[in-house]
Amino acid sequence: MTFEQDPPASTDPFSGQPHAIVERDGVRYTLLGTAHVSKASVDAVRAAIDSGGYDTIAVELDKQRLQALTDPDALARLDLVKVLREGKTALFAANLGLAAYQRRLAEQLGIEPGAELKAAAEEAEARGLTLELIDRDVGLTFKRALGRLGFWRKAKVAAGLFAGLFADEEVGEDEIEKLKQGDLMEASFSEFADETPELYDTIINERDRYMAAKLRAMPAGSRDVLAVVGAGHLPGLTKHLREDTAASAGVVAELETLPEKSSIPWFTIVLAAFVLGGFAWGFWRGGVDVGADLVLYWVLWTGGLGALGCALAGGHPLSIVAAFIASPVTPLHPALASGTISALVEAWVRKPTYADFMALRDDVQTMKGWWRNRVARVLLNFFLTSLGTAIGVWTGGARMLGKLFG
């Protein structure tokens, strides 16, 4: 295993881009560090592949991000109902936030973020070379990152990503410089990563280990690999590729595992015990009048605020009714969510069209667009109904306590 120094500038086939060469286990890995918002990086990738000698091209992408770069119509084929049923609504919204950030960069800099990765994939296909996607699935990265945060930090990150959907100001020079030297996901989370070591570790350090393991797990026929990665990953990736001794399959499996969650939904159990116990106590000690008042407080506050959230999202009358019915019940069941139920009804009654999906990335960048676009309105329905129900739980619970002990 050896590490070679950069060649003199006059013979540099990488157009001055940072790079490193690692030889390990009979495979020569050429790691090319790029800037995700640089036309020079696109030229450097093409020049490197033109120099020949590579049988495999590896890129810092997963299947989802490659599809987003190479197939603009992929979003229009999304099954929104499936997303809602599988509980992936928040992840879908986070991906929209990342896409909105990329769109702002593209408009400001005149180049699509990740264009050099797209060029590497296209060149590999055109030349009949093996293409390997070595980055971790973006959904797994989001989930692992958020899974390491406490409630308030998680809420702050979620709120920041959601707010980013509405932002239309230019990306600052500091962020652009970070992108030139670093990583797109790091820049997207830069506001939080600086003060949250767990987030930085998941988004950058873990992915360095992961990509190094994926490179070591290349098919047996790969002997000369060109890996195109963001410049910010180059030092860590080089280190792990040279020094890691753990089995690559074990490292990949470890870093694809989601943080363990408690199998017992304690909050739901405690809440259900309080609410149902409160009803029983009210009927027993105060009779039908007190018991009925407690039930009425709970239903009106949770159902009313859940329905109000749905109405504010521009929900269909049937969606509002569904929110009102579901909101008093779903907080007491760990597998149900009022926002999911009302959003499913909304998606069924007002089925999003092909045009809605195609216009989604543009529409979510304006306030009016969220209510005009049917896909965005379903997402808004989910979040505002859930928020209204949550407020109703605390408000209704407080009124119940006041009635029981007042």
pLDDT value for 3: 45
- Going by pLDDT thresholds of 50, 70 and 90, the confidence category of residue 158 is low
What pLDDT shows up at residue 354? 81
In sequence order, the β-bridge partners of residue 34 are: 230
- Range ranked top by mean pLDDT from 147-151, 267-271, 375-379: 375-379
Section 120-133 average pLDDT: 93
Kindly provide the residue ranges of all beta strands, DSSP E only, lying in 39-118, ordered along the sequence: 56-59
Please list the residues that pair with 23 across neighbouring strands. 2, 28
Q: Across residues 251-265, what is the average pLDDT?
A: 80
Burial of residue 250, with CB atoms counted within 10 A of its CB: 0-12 exposed, 13-18 middle, 19 or more buried: exposed
Q: Are strands 19-24 and 27-34 parallel, antiparallel or unpaired?
A: antiparallel
Structure confidence at residue 161 (pLDDT): 63
Residue 140 in tokens: 């797994």
Two tokens at 134?
Answer: 């070595």
Is 358 exposed, middle or buried (CB count within 10 Å of its CB: 0-12, 13-18, 19+)? Answer: middle
Q: What is the CA radius of gyration of the chain?
A: 25
Domain ranges of the chain: 2-255, 266-405
Residue 5 banded pLDDT, cuts 50, 70, 90: very low
pLDDT at 153: 72
Task: Work out the pLDDT band at 23, boundaries 50, 70, 90.
Answer: very high
Question: 277-286, pLDDT tens digit by residue?
Answer: 988 988 898 8
Percentage of the chain beyond pLDDT 70 is: 80
Paired strand residues for 4: 21
* Residue 228 neighbours by CB distance under 10 Å: 29
Poorest-confidence range of 39-53, 96-110, 162-176? 162-176
More confident position, 9 or 218:
218
The reply to whether the predicted model has a pTM over 0.85 is no
Average pLDDT, the chain: 82
Residue 62 has pLDDT above 70, yes or no: yes
Q: Which of 3-7, 91-95, 319-323 has the highest mean pLDDT?
A: 319-323
Dump the DSSP string for 321-342: HHHHHHTTTGGG-TT--HHHHH
Strands annotated E in 87-154 = 130-133
* Alpha-carbon gap, residue 6 to 18, rounded angstroms: 8
CA gap 406, 386 in Å, rounded: 29
What tokens does 135 get?
């980055």
Residue 369, pLDDT above cutoff 90: no
Residues 6+ apart with CB under 8 A from 195: none
Token pair for 247: 């089995």
Question: Which string of b and e fits 136-162 if b means at least 16 CB within 10 Å?
Answer: bebebbbbbbbebbeeebeebbbeebb
Q: In 39-79, where does DSSP find H-type helix?
A: 39-50, 63-70
Q: Is the pLDDT of residue 45 over 70?
A: yes
* pLDDT tens figures, 298-344: 999 999 999 999 999 999 999 999 999 999 999 988 778 999 999 99
Q: Which band of pLDDT confidence, cut at 50, 70 and 90, is reported for residue 184?
A: low
